[in-house]
Chain A
Amino acid sequence: MTLQKILLVEDEPDIRAVAQLALEAVGGFTVRLCESGETALAALAEFDPDLVLLDVMMPGMDGPATLAALRALPVGGDVPMIFMTAKVQPAEIEGYRRLGAIGVVAKPFDPMTLADKLRGLWAAAHR
């Protein structure tokens, strides 16, 4: 099983655009962009991603709330999810893990290495 389709949930248009470049142009992934938790809920079943990348701080449904809501969907049970956040203290990472994320990516991210980071986290979760 390989990592090919990524669902990205990010409210900032700038960050979305850079992440899209980082994932599509650099990583070669197929990417679906969602600007909010609500949009992500609507897209999950139809897009059927291998991985969901979630911004933590979003207006309305924030990252953790979105994760919980996605998990509650029939198809959302086992899709791996990764948070993106500027707060990456070890204690906080543990907190995100307990919420169900397989890992955390620090913001700001380097567009050249984001794809590799995601592959690494995804591979570790599938061992």
Chain B
Amino acid sequence: MNPALETALAALRQRFVGELPARLGALRQALAALDGAPRDGLEPDRQTARRTAHSLAGAGGTFGFPALGEAARALELRLDALDETPAANAAAELDTLFAALEAQAARAARGRLPAPPAAAAEPEAAVTNRQTRSIALVDDDISFGAHLAAQIGRFGYGVAHYPSLEAFVAALDDGMPPDAIVMDLVFSEGNLAGAEALLAQRLGRLVDTPAVVVSARGDFAARLAAVRAGARAFQTKPPDLSALINTLDALTGDEPQQPYRILVVEDDALLAEHYCRLLEADGMQALALGDPTRALEVAADFAPDLLLTDLDMPGCSGIELAAVIRQLEAYVSLPIVFLSAEKDFDRRVLAMQQGGDDFLAKPVTPQRLIASVRQRAQRHRILRAHMEHDGLTGLLNHSALKERLALELARAARLGSPLSFVMIDLDRFKQVNDNHGHAAGDRVLRALAQLLRDRLRRTDIVGRYGGEEFGVLLPDTDAATAQQVIETIRQAFAAVEHGTGERCFSVTLSAGIAASPPIDNAETLAAAADAALYRSKHAGRNRVSLHQEAPA
């Protein structure tokens, strides 16, 4: 299908979905008036209901919602035959048919993977409980806008495309602001009109709404305008869809931003307390440590975003501490800020050479301390996120996951709590790419990543281990519990329909689980989970296996 036609059809489809609630509302009213009985005087209501059902049947099918069309057709036929059945049955039947139609309309509106059938004794809410997040896409290039809107919509967003700034502002006046905005820059009003519109709205309705600029312009002036308008990201056309979706996910996600964690190493207890209070007052989380020799073990548990350390301490100086910390791979990029009354310039230079990021001279003003710490912690978070995460799925990448495995295993051993590690591999994934294309394959990977994120706890760690391989770390979880959790996920994923219409398909996964205790070594744990995964594959795939100890 040629792209222009595809986008035009997509736009019509969007409109159809948008009008569904109103049409169903009218149908509901007509049915309520009828109440199952074809009395004289109610014939107009019957005809209204019948015609609405008939048109939904036709349109549903035409726009690629066959199930919706069939549900409407069933209701239409029942309304046709209303004279022939006693009133009591009819009312109940019509209710049931209408409920089925509403369910199909809800599915169409969600425009995403349907919720998998609930497993027995499901402890948590179903996967797709999250409300559809709304995106306003403002671009006067009609075909580009419609095309991008359709693409973003495939990832579960409800996208409204506004072909002009006027239309966008008018829509804002009418209703709730969207969850996020994708804004072009160049409009007939001017070459930076998009940014100006954002800025104008920031004081009013859009004060909290995150915006991303997607523009053909990539010059400095354009980027500066975007920054000044408060845009959180900037992409030049054509946008990298994966990156755009990741950005929108991050901007509209419900995970609250975790406070920055600052480890304060200062042997003067009163001073340490003082710094911690200042940082906490600014919304950060601070931990004071008086003994620098314990820094590594404390850092392993606390996972700081920044180390704030005094320079002169008995037992170990701040400079020496920085050098030791930097020996560890995990802390190579950890920001380190020194605090000292040191007036000697050369000593300051030396301190910085040892891997320090800033030097604050005591007595330090609260503003200077907070500003320096916050800015560096924030920068580090952003960089680390880029380094550690897989671009396509937003999950941890292979090396970051392995690091976390070692870290969590050590912590679990210290706390005496169990830890399970799961290796997941999609079954026959090469076939998915071959039969449906790589874009579809990518969407399947993202779908699994999303399902894992939805079904697991905040404290569980999920990573993309390789092409179609995923790794899950479940702290405080023994093997038996892990098996239950992963089994539920296995079933849920197998029930998901990927693709659309005739090209619908499903994908299964195989998994292997290993736990500590008894295994206490990260490499061995990973190998054991892998061996269990291998057994799942060779036993027929689409199953979960536990690592078995080799007979002595």
Contact = CB atoms under 8 A, between A and B. Distances in A.
Interface string A1-33: 000000000001011011001000110000000
Interface string B50-78: 01001101111111000001000100000
B1 interface: yes
A118 to B, nearest CB: 16
Interface stretch (A72-80, A94-102, A104-112): A104-112
B62 A14 contact: yes
A12 B63 CA distance: 13
Contacts of B51: 57, 59
Interface string A86-97: 100000000000
B101 to A, nearest CB: 16
A57 B421 CA distance: 61
B4 interface: yes
A54 to B, nearest CB: 14
A107 B62 contact: yes
A93 to B, nearest CB: 18
Contacts of A59: 51
Nearest to A58: B51
A121 B430 CA distance: 43
A111 B13 CA distance: 13
Interface string B1-18: 100110011001001100
Interface residues of A, number: 16
Nearest to B19: A14
Q: Which of A14, A18, A107, A112 has the most CB of B within 10 A?
A: A14
Given A12-B55, A14-B15, A108-B58, A21 B73 contact: no
Contacts of B15: 14
A59 B51 CA distance: 8
Interface in B1-55: 1, 4-5, 8-9, 12, 15-16, 51, 54-55
A17 to B, nearest CB: 5
Contacts of A14: 12, 15-16, 55, 59, 62-63
Nearest to A11: B55
Contacts of B60: 108
Given A17-B12, A18-B9, A25 B4 contact: yes
Contacts of B62: 14-15, 18, 107-109, 111
Contacts of A18: 9, 12, 62-63
Interface residues of B, number: 20
A15 B58 contact: yes
Contacts of B63: 14, 18
A12 B51 CA distance: 10
A21 B1 CA distance: 12
B405 to A, nearest CB: 50
A25 B2 CA distance: 10
Interface string B126-142: 00000000000000000
Contacts of A111: 5, 9, 62
Contacts of A112: 1
B12 A12 contact: no
Contacts of A108: 58-62, 69
A86 B82 CA distance: 20
B12 A25 contact: no
Interface in A51-90: 57, 59, 86
Nearest to A84: B58
Contacts of A15: 55, 58-59, 62
A18 B58 CA distance: 12
B5 A12 contact: no
Contact of A107 (B4, B8, B58): B58
A111 B6 CA distance: 11
A14 B16 CA distance: 7
Contacts of B1: 112
A86 B4 contact: no
Nearest to A19: B62
Contacts of B16: 14
A18 B59 CA distance: 9
Interface string B482-493: 000000000000
Nearest to B4: A25
A36 to B, nearest CB: 13
A64 to B, nearest CB: 16
A21 B8 contact: yes
Contacts of B73: 86
13 contacts: A12-B55, A14-B12, A15-B55, A15-B58, A15-B62, A18-B9, A18-B12, A21-B9, A26-B5, A57-B51, A86-B73, A107-B62, A108-B69
Given A111-B5, A112-B1, 13 more contacts: A14-B55, A14-B62, A14-B63, A15-B62, A18-B9, A21-B8, A25-B5, A26-B5, A57-B54, A86-B73, A107-B58, A108-B69, A109-B62
Top-9 shortest CB links A-B: A108-B61, A108-B62, A14-B59, A107-B58, A12-B55, A17-B12, A25-B5, A14-B16, A18-B62
